[in-house]
Amino acid sequence: MAEIGFQNTLIKLTDGKARLQGATVKSPWDKFLATLDSNPKMPDSEVKTLFAQTLSKSSSDWKDPNDNTLLMHMASRGQTGIVKRLIHEFYANVNATNKDGLTALHMAARSGSMETCVALTDAYADPCKKDRNGSTPAMIAKDQGHAAVADFLGNREVAKRVWLAGHHLSNQQG
């Protein structure tokens, strides 16, 4: 019987550890998100502690395979405290898009989190940005039955369009 060698099935990682070739290595953020998903009523203080622990092991600029950023994941879960921290401490791009053209604001609107939508628009998230299907965050909120969020975002859209029109006119006159 032939002896089978295992030396070719291991890949040496930069930290000196080894893993099986072809095995998927999960990011600390994958574990963080899985923990949040398995315990949706986790108190904010525990979420913030878990976030800090995970941040110590990984970068805040992580993206999943669909190009969803950590900011998008936190916005979709209504984690406003972490959203603010990602924006103000780690300079997360509030207008980054995933493969479907969705931003963190689209995701907060879909979940109906008014507080998160306010935080994102206060940080200059674009309320007029359309996803791949042509939907703005206000349209998504309305489709999901979040009338108050849809109204708020619709007002932010109008305000931005009025500001842009006025800015455009003043540039033409000057």
Instruction: Please write the tens of the pLDDT for every residue from 100-109.
Output: 999 999 999 9
143 contact partners, CB below 8 Å, separation of at least 6: 135
For the chain, what is the domain count? 1
CA distance 119 to 80: 7
Sign of CA dihedral 13, 17, 20, 26: negative
Query: Can you give the pLDDT at residue 163?
Result: 79
Query: Can you give the pLDDT at residue 164?
Result: 77
Terminal Cα distance for the chain, rounded = 88
How many other CB atoms sit within 10 Å of the CB of residue 78?
17
pLDDT for residue 66 is more than 80: yes
92-137: pLDDT as tens digits: 999 999 999 999 999 999 999 999 999 999 999 999 999 999 999 9
* The model's pTM: 0.80
Between residues 169 and 166, the one the model is more confident about: 166
Per the domain annotation, does 10 fall within a domain? no
Per the domain annotation, does 3 fall within a domain? no
Per the domain annotation, does 106 fall within a domain? yes
At 86, list the tokens: 């990602």
Query: Can you give the pLDDT at residue 162?
Result: 86
| CA count, 13 A, side-chain hemisphere, 152 | 19
* Strand 10-12, strand 18-20: pairing: antiparallel
Domain span at residue 159 reads 27-173
Query: Can you give the pLDDT at residue 128?
Result: 95
CA distance 147 to 153: 10
CA distance 103 to 125: 8
The CA-CA-CA angle for residues 97, 62, 105, to 5°, reads 35
Per the domain annotation, does 9 fall within a domain? no
| Domain CATH number, residue 82 | 1.25.40.20
11-63: pLDDT as tens digits: 444 444 444 444 455 889 999 999 999 998 999 999 999 999 999 988 888 99
Please count the helices (runs of H) and the strands (runs of E) in the chain. Answer: 8, 2
In this structure, the dihedral spanned by the alpha carbons of residues 63, 98, 128 and 133, taken in order and rounded to 10 degrees, is -160
Query: Can you give the pLDDT at residue 87?
Result: 96
